[in-house]
Structure 1
Amino acid sequence: MHDHDKGNGRLKKLVAQTAPTQTRLPLVHSTDGYLFGDALVEGRLEPQDCNVFTGEALLYTFYGRPSFRPNMAEFATTMDHYLPVCLIFKRSFFGEVRRVFPFDTGAFVNDFYRSYLHRKMMLGDFALEPDLDTPGRVIATFFGTARSYLQAQPTSPVKFDAGQFEAKSYSALIDARDSNAMDSRGSGIEVQLAEPVAIAHWVEAVVVPSTFVDSSIGKELRRLNIEMLPYDVQGRLRPSEYTSTITDRCMHYYAKNGMLEDIIG
């Protein structure tokens, strides 16, 4: 057991008691053009050494929302290799789930959520049951609907027993509307995988820079019958500035495929 796995289990028990939402969303994995090109050649996404759960190789995904932002620290660039790519898994995906958290664990260890937590709260206090039904249970518990979750807008604050400290902290985090409110990493449900994922078998669509469509990468994606969701590349933008564009492409794809009939008006 990793040190970060130690926790009181209070939130895990609360969430496990809730029936998951009927709407099933796909897992998504964010990377950049260079790393995606390598993965496409290898035919799979490989777990990588983790700097949070040190000593483990993990593949990080999020439930429905592309909350991870690759190359956050990179400056504005026109180089395709740094541009974000987001892989959308088939909803039928199954594999070994190592951990599930209701937020980005990297942001937790970097104290981005400090305003909403007791100083003694540990990451493990927010660990949830490691299975693919858990994200739907989180949404039912805290957001009400998949649409509210995807738009990071809880329909109304949920009232919890005063002793549910972790639930109340998370509820405050996702409902924050002040100028210092956390970005989407604070409420994107993180699903850690422990095994490689075969791209041809489990990936159904990929959000890519438009420059990839007619490239060797685009040719390979067409061969694999994986749908491309291109976005326009703007001159001199930081890679992280494409986050809303990537999210928008995902939302339209979900709506087009009947996952959320009402996500787009």
Structure 2
Amino acid sequence: MPRRDGVNYDRQLITHSRPDGLPAKLPLVHMTAAWSATEIVRSGKFVTRRCDVFGAELLYFFVLRPAYRSRFGNEESHQISRFPVAFIVRPEAVPSPRHVYPFDTGGAAKGAFSSKADKYVPLEDYALEASHLAATGHIGWAFGALEAYFAGRLREDINDDIPVFESVTSGFVDVARMGVELSNEHDKRASTIELAAAHNVDLVGNVRLVILPKQYLEGNNPLTDLIEKTGAQVELYDWQPNRAPDEFQKDIRRICREWYGAEGIM
């Protein structure tokens, strides 16, 4: 995607916000590789890092839906440190988001969605209002319900209320269709809402659930003890060597969905 030089934004998606009937705030998901997750647990906090896309110290989350792809994602490996871990975080941990976008900006900046994105629309124009309510409002308009958003199913009639001149809005829809399971270029990041914080977030009191490989925790008493101190619940998936990290994304989504159901979130 091209980048905008200056602040003369054309943020058309903001005008379509439709949060009616949806929660004002939704859980946040931070995903990373098992090695990095261990470092997070050991430090007791999520720490901001320099973001090359926006040139600022930021900490990234997805809203409700886990959608992660590492540079090793499609490579088979016996190294469990490469495999995904998900942290489900209270939305109150980020009271004032730095920004909210309708897709993964890192992937967008690196060209992950370039085959579908409008070649003229700058990345910055896709931004939503920087609030939790903007995320739920976008879900209400683009997906209609939390279940549909979690599955990546856009409203069937979404194009009916988009004026032909709204290139930003139409561009979002083109990108978001890559998040549909049957897409030839399937990538959940293309329609998963990104929320960024400009501050660190403590694990204690904020992390509600940790999902990680069962084999990474077995006999790992130091890590087990540290996770217990956060007060978070733990759910495990059955890792297998010589498979690709991306193969376990469905396991994490299934565990998330079941937990959201048990908590009355979805």
**When the two structures are superposed, what TM-score results if normalisation uses the length of structure 1?**
0.88
Does residue 130 (structure 1) correspond to residue 146 (structure 2)? The answer is no
What corresponds to 1:9 in structure 2? Answer: 10
Give the AA of the match of 1:77: S
Distance 1:4 1:189 in 2: 24
Distance 2:118 2:239 in 1: 42
Task: Report the count of equivalent residues.
Answer: 257
Distance 1:149 1:62 in 2: 12
Which string of whole-angstrom CA distances, capped at 9 and with x for unpartnered residues, describes residues 94-117 of structure 1?
Answer: 333111110011221223323433
Give the AA of the match of 2:174: A
What corresponds to 1:172 in structure 2? Answer: 174
Give the AA of the match of 1:14: T
8 A Cα contact 1:30 1:70, kept in partner: no
What corresponds to 1:22 in structure 2? Answer: 22
What corresponds to 2:214 in structure 1? Answer: 210
What corresponds to 1:190 in structure 2? Answer: 194
Give the AA of the match of 2:113: Y
Match of 2:252 among 246, 250, 253: 246
8 A Cα contact 1:152 1:184, kept in partner: yes
Give the AA of the match of 1:157: D
Q: Once the 2 structures are TM-superposed, how far is the Cα of residue 36 of structure 1 from its aligned partner?
A: 1.4
Distance 2:32 2:5 in 1: 24
Distance 1:230 1:73 in 2: 19
- What's the % identity of the aligned pairs? 23
What corresponds to 2:237 in structure 1? Answer: 231
What corresponds to 1:86 in structure 2? Answer: 86
Distance 1:179 1:131 in 2: 30
8 A Cα contact 2:214 2:239, kept in partner: yes
Which string of whole-angstrom CA distances, capped at 9 and with x for unpartnered residues, describes residues 167-193 of structure 1?
Answer: 122223334567533410110001111
Deviates more, 1:63-72 or 1:193-202: 63-72
Distance 1:242 1:232 in 2: 9
Q: Once the 2 structures are TM-superposed, how far is the Cα of residue 34 of structure 1 from its aligned partner?
A: 1.3
Q: Once the 2 structures are TM-superposed, how far is the Cα of residue 79 of structure 1 from its aligned partner?
A: 2.3
CA-based RMSD of the aligned residues comes to 2.3
Secondary structure of the structure 2 residue equivalent to 1:35: helix
Secondary structure of the structure 2 residue equivalent to 1:116: coil
Deviates more, 1:20-29 or 1:243-252: 20-29
Which string of whole-angstrom CA distances, capped at 9 and with x for unpartnered residues, describes residues 194-239 of structure 1?
Answer: 1001001211111111024342212221233210010001121122
Q: Once the 2 structures are TM-superposed, how far is the Cα of residue 4 of structure 1 from its aligned partner?
A: 7.2
8 A Cα contact 1:174 1:187, kept in partner: yes
Distance 2:246 2:42 in 1: 25
Distance 1:77 1:101 in 2: 32
Distance 2:80 2:186 in 1: 28
What corresponds to 2:38 in structure 1? Answer: 37
8 A Cα contact 1:67 1:184, kept in partner: yes
Deviates more, 1:103-112 or 1:136-145: 103-112
Which segments of 5 or more consecutive residues in structure 1 lack a partner in the other structure?
A: 261-265
8 A Cα contact 1:99 1:128, kept in partner: yes
| Residues 124 and 91 of structure 1, relative CA distance in 2, 3 Å threshold | closer
| Residues 99 and 21 of structure 1, relative CA distance in 2, 3 Å threshold | farther
Secondary structure of the structure 2 residue equivalent to 1:168: helix
Distance 1:141 1:84 in 2: 30
Q: Once the 2 structures are TM-superposed, how far is the Cα of residue 14 of structure 1 from its aligned partner?
A: 1.2
Give the AA of the match of 2:259: Y
| Residues 117 and 83 of structure 1, relative CA distance in 2, 3 Å threshold | closer
What corresponds to 1:50 in structure 2? Answer: 51
Give the AA of the match of 1:140: G
Deviates more, 1:213-222 or 1:197-206: 213-222
Which segments of 5 or more consecutive residues in structure 2 lack a partner in the other structure?
A: none
